[in-house]
Amino acid sequence: MSSTNEKILVPIGFTNQSILALQQAVIVAKHTNSDLVLLSVVEMPSALQKLFSDYEEKQKEFKLKVRDNLNDLVSEYCGGVNDVECMVVAGKIYDKITETAEMIDASLIIMGTDGTPKDMKKKFIGSNANKVVRSASCPVITLKGKEIKNQCDLIALPLDLNKETREKVTHAIKFARLFNSAVRVFSVSFDNNDDTVKNKLKRNLSQVNEFIQTKGVECSMEYVEISSSKSFSGSIVEYTQSIGADFLMIMTKEEDNLELNFLGSNARKVINKSDIPVMSIRPIPKKDTSSFMV
């Protein structure tokens, strides 16, 4: 690609969910003036397949058919996007997605996930989506729901006491400016949490709310206290539904100190339960990101 615009990577598996992800990516690309890169990964042949002398030729033919299918999707869905490139590579799906994102310096990955397969109870959001979310250096938007968002009026931003929260706030501000969105910052806390933790959450909410407003973005806040018998991840999703949020932004890094970062430890469950797009951000380690005041 000769364009210098930011690039959004869209893994395509030709499932209904990946087509929805493509449609969502087109909307985001138009708002952000980004280019799209559509990626299909052809899994490597098995040892048995390699025994056949014509396997390389058949794989080559298959890649060409996949590329033709990608080009058809571009024609059908990608009108109005600055630039679109199609890539077909062979390898492990999640490895190639993260490798390609690094190679093209993607600013964002948008991919579909079908949630927890009924016959695979240990998988929360599908193994490939889960691994991409946990390993990609750029933010990842996952779509489990069956509807795309043509406009983002409200971004839900749950906060814990993670010292890297500012990085998530920065992404929220950027996204809100591009979509002319409002932001709702909120914290969910169990009623049996220590008062020290509760007070820290409330102070953090107030500080973040004020910081976002100083950046010219409409912002409101709410502290939500729930019974210790309720699901934390479920309560996050229920709250985003109750306020009519269009996007949910979370951090995915898990800390040893769960008293401070109880959201990160529930990230996969939140993604799996949410029917609105979830942007997962894997923070870049910084020496000090605790202060919001500039």
Pick from 219, 222, 237, 240: nearest CA to 292: 219
Task: Tell me the C-alpha to C-alpha distance, in Å, between residue 150 and each of 5, 25, 74, 179, 197.
Answer: 21, 10, 18, 10, 38
pLDDT digits (tens, 9 = 90+) for 62-95: 888 999 999 999 999 999 999 999 999 988 888 9
Q: Among the ranges 26-35, 110-119, 164-173, 280-289, which has the highest mean pLDDT value?
A: 26-35
User: Quick one: tokens of 177?
Assistant: 């400016």
pLDDT digits (tens, 9 = 90+) for 200-217: 999 999 999 999 999 999
Q: What is the pLDDT of residue 45?
A: 62
- Give dist(CA 288, CA 192) in Å, integer: 30
CATH classification number, 7-143, choose in 3.40.50.261, 3.40.50.620, 3.50.50.60, 3.10.20.600: 3.40.50.620
Q: What is the pLDDT of residue 52?
A: 58
pLDDT digits (tens, 9 = 90+) for 142-199: 998 887 888 889 999 998 877 666 778 988 999 999 889 999 999 999 888 889 989 9
Domain extents in the chain? 7-143, 154-281
DSSP 229-268: TS-HHHHHHHHHHHTT-SEEEEE-PPPS-TTT-TTGGGHH
- Give dist(CA 175, CA 181) in Å, integer: 8
CATH class of 154-281: alpha beta
pLDDT digits (tens, 9 = 90+) for 46-62: 555 555 556 667 778 88
Query: Same topology for domains 7-143 and 154-281, yes or no?
Result: yes
State residue 220 phi and psi, 5-degree precision: -135, 170
- Give dist(CA 291, CA 277) in Å, integer: 28
- Give dist(CA 134, CA 154) in Å, integer: 25
Pick from 164, 183, 162, 177: nearest CA to 249: 183
Rg value, the chain, Cα: 20
